[in-house]
Amino acid sequence: MKAPIKKTSKPVPSSNWKKIQATIPPPQPVANRKPYIHRKRKGEALETTASSPEALKKTKKIKVEANVVAIPDKENLWFGDDLDEKDLQLAYGSSRQLKLDEKERKKAVVQSMDAVQGKGAQLGKFVAIDCEMVGVGRDGVDSALARVSIVNYNGAVLMDKYVQPQERVTDYRTHVSGIEPKHLGEGAITFKEAQAEVADIIKGRVLIGHAVNNDLKALMLDHPALFLRDTSRYKPFRKLASGRTPSLKTLVQKVLEFNIQSGSHSSVEDARFTMLLYRKVKDEWEKSFGSRAVSNQKKLAAKESNRTLKVTKETETIKQTVKEEPVSDSDDDSEDDSDSD
């Protein structure tokens, strides 16, 4: 009968292992070890750290932007005929670069509008309007006109005035309107002055605006329907919003590929990009009215022009009559006669 095997708490190394162990060099201290190379993962910068556990815990992962893949040539893609440059940029480029390109394009467009001079900066057949409002009344729920801007067909500014509200302002809505108390001080014009100036500019002209009836309502003005072009009501634009009323920001993004109203609004910027929207679809939009509407527009414009000319002539006649009419001295004569008696 074999004797039972005694169990030991620690395994005994074999003679072969003892021979191999004798050839292994002793471990080096941590300070003498070579630095551990931390291989970068996606989104991390390459770092060299000590291999001690304490040092590895303190290692910071520095995030870096992923490398932009080179955009291939459309001719090298079998489906290239179905793509445009923007599609390729979206697929292979970075969103940051796209934003930079958009900002540069927008900056160039605005600079070209600012540079318009001479005949291009004059009042023409087409004008675009936009107004900024402030809150009046209890809790600032009601709106009052605080700024009005009008640009011509080329985006040149024809009018940009701050307007003193007729009621006390209870909410300047600065985060949206950009209006501050300083804007409505001494430099602002009265409501009646703004109303008269706008009426004079838009008379007999095609007026473009986004929800333009709201601007006219704020100014308490009317304008012939034949001369109104509302980008919020144009059917092809409404299709972009699934039949709903699109915001100006949405239309500019989808049609012109620009971003506006990133912060507080600017009535000049809104009027300019509303005009650009109209110019983008001008030919199709005007054709939709038909030849009869165009003829009526011309007749109405001629009627407005004749009315203005008639009022001007009557005003000049009155001024001339007042200037030439002699001063009456009948009162002096009566006094002289009484003295002679």
**pLDDT band, residue 289 (cuts 50/70/90):** confident
Extract the tokens encoding 290.
């038909």
Residues 203, 156 share a domain: yes
Percentage of the residues of the chain whose pLDDT score is greater than 70: 58
Q: Give the whole-angstrom CA distance, residue 126 versus residue 153.
A: 6
| Nearest CA among 268, 226, 225, 271 for reference residue 248 | 271
Percent of the chain with pLDDT over 90: 46
**In the prediction, which pLDDT does 333 show?**
46
Q: What is the DSSP letter of 231?
A: T
Question: Given this model, what pLDDT does residue 339 score?
Answer: 45
Residue 338, domain member (yes or no): no
Residue 133, helix vs strand vs coil? strand
The alpha carbon dihedral of 228, 234, 237, 240 has a sign of positive
Contact 128, 274 (CB under 8 A): yes
CA atoms of 128 and 228, how far apart (whole Å): 10
* Enclosing domain of residue 105: 77-114
- Per residue in 124-148, pLDDT tens? 999 999 999 999 999 899 999 999 9
Is residue 339 included in any domain, yes or no? no
DSSP H or E segment with residue 277: helix 267-287
Q: In whole angstroms, what is the distance from residue 220 CA to residue 213 CA?
A: 10
Same domain, 143 and 81: no
Q: Tell whether the model's pLDDT for residue 219 goes beyond 90.
A: yes
pTM: 0.61
Helices (H) and strands (E) in the chain, counts: 12, 8
Q: What average pLDDT is seen over the chain?
A: 77
Instruction: Pick the range with the lowest mean pLDDT from 92-106, 178-192, 285-299.
Output: 92-106
- Of 150, 284, 294, the residue nearest 208 (C-alpha): 150
Residues 198 and 108 in one domain: no
**Same domain membership, residue 249 and residue 107:** no
Q: Is 29 helix (H, G, I), strand (E, B) or coil?
A: coil
- Residue 62's pLDDT band (boundaries 50, 70, 90)? very low
- Is the four-CA dihedral 106, 108, 111, 112 of positive or negative sign? negative
Q: Check residue 236 and give its pLDDT.
A: 94
Is 187 in the same domain as 82? no
CA separation for the pair 207, 153 (Å, rounded): 10
Residue 10: pLDDT over 70:
no
Do 90 and 194 have their domain in common? no
The answer to whether 182 and 156 have CB atoms below 8 angstroms apart is no
Per-residue confidence at 65, pLDDT binned at 50, 70, 90? very low
Short-list 97, 93, 69, CA closest to 83: 93
On whether both 100 and 148 belong to a single domain, the answer is no
Model pLDDT, residue 67? 42
Helix-helix angle 191-202:212-219, to 10 degrees: 130
Q: Residue 24's pLDDT band (boundaries 50, 70, 90)?
A: confident
Same-domain status, 185 and 94: no
Is residue 211 a part of any domain in this protein?
A: yes
pLDDT of residue 48: 46
Domain CATH for 255:
3.30.420.10
Same domain (yes/no): 90, 141 = no
Per-residue pLDDT, averaged over 60-81, amounts to 49
Highest mean pLDDT among 262-266, 280-284, 325-329: 280-284
CA 209 to chain centre: 14
Give the β-pairing of 47-49 and 36-38. Answer: antiparallel
> Do 185 and 288 fall into the same domain?
yes
Read off φ and ψ for residue 238, nearest 5 degrees: -65, -30
Amino acid letter for position 331 = D
Q: Is 203 within the bounds of a domain?
A: yes
* 85 inside domain: yes
Q: Crossing angle of helices 95-114/267-287, nearest 10°?
A: 90
Flag whether pLDDT at 336 surpasses 90: no
Examine residue 264 and state whether it is found in any structural domain, yes or no: yes
Residue 46 has pLDDT above 50, yes or no: no
Looking at the fold, whether 106 and 129 belong to one and the same domain comes out as no
Model confidence at 334, in pLDDT bands (50, 70, 90)? very low
Are residue 159 and residue 275 in the same domain, yes or no? Answer: yes
**Total number of domains in the chain:** 2
The DSSP line for 138-198 is GGG-EEEEEEEEEEETT--EEEEEEB--SS-EEE--HHHH---GGGGSTTSBPHHHHHHHH
Q: Which residue has the higher pLDDT, 259 or 311?
A: 259
